[in-house]
Amino acid sequence: MIEKNITCGWVVLFLIAVSGALGGDAVGVKWVALVTGMSCPLCAKNIEKQVSRLEGVVDVKIDLGTGRVEVVYSRAHEGDKSSIAKAIKDAGFEAIDVKKSP
Ligand SMILES: [Cu+2]
């Protein structure tokens, strides 16, 4: 039991390290928005599907409770930012920018 918990803790630490690296300047740019109208996990899945198929998108995180959507995309695709909001709109939701990475 104890061994299992320790392993689990390490996995969590590893995931934090990886997402930190992706959010850094070298690999990716983070786009954060609030999405209105999500009411169930299926809504979130739908948005995730639409956004993750976009070129250059590395990671999509959706918090159903707060409506916060975080998208990490490669710097090479910086000009495609508006396509993220459009993909969310196409899925039937409205995205409000809360933070734009420089
Ligand atoms: Cu739903």
Q: What is the CATH number of the domain that holds 16?
A: 3.30.70.100
Q: Given this model, what pLDDT does residue 73 score?
A: 92
- Indicate yes or no: pTM above 0.85: no
Q: Which residues are within 5 Å of ligand 1 (an ion), measured at CB?
A: 39-40, 42-43
- Predicted confidence at residue 26, as pLDDT, reads 55
Question: Can you give the pLDDT at residue 65?
Answer: 93
- Measure the CA–CA gap between 42 and 63, rounded to whole angstroms: 12
pLDDT at 100: 54
Mean pLDDT by 10 residues, the chain (102 residues): 41 40 62 93 96 94 95 87 91 83 48
Instruction: Measure 1 CA to ligand 1 centroid, in angstroms.
Output: 37
**Which pLDDT score, from 0 to 100, does residue 2 have?**
45
Lookup: tokens for 32: 């954060």
**Number of domains present in the structure of the chain:** 1
**Which own/partner contact pairs does 85-90 have at CB distance under 8 Å and 24+ positions apart?**
85/33, 87/47, 87/50, 87/51, 87/53, 87/54, 88/33, 88/35, 88/47, 88/50, 88/51, 90/50
Its domain, for residue 21, covers 2-100
- What pLDDT score does 6 carry? 38
Rg over alpha carbons for the chain, rounded to the nearest Å, is 15
Q: From the CA of 42, how far away is ligand 1's center (Å)?
A: 5
Q: How far is the CA of 56 from the centre of ligand 1 (A)?
A: 26
CA dist 92 to 28, 38, 59, 96, Å?
26, 9, 20, 14
Position 44 scores a pLDDT of 96
pLDDT of the residue at 58: 93
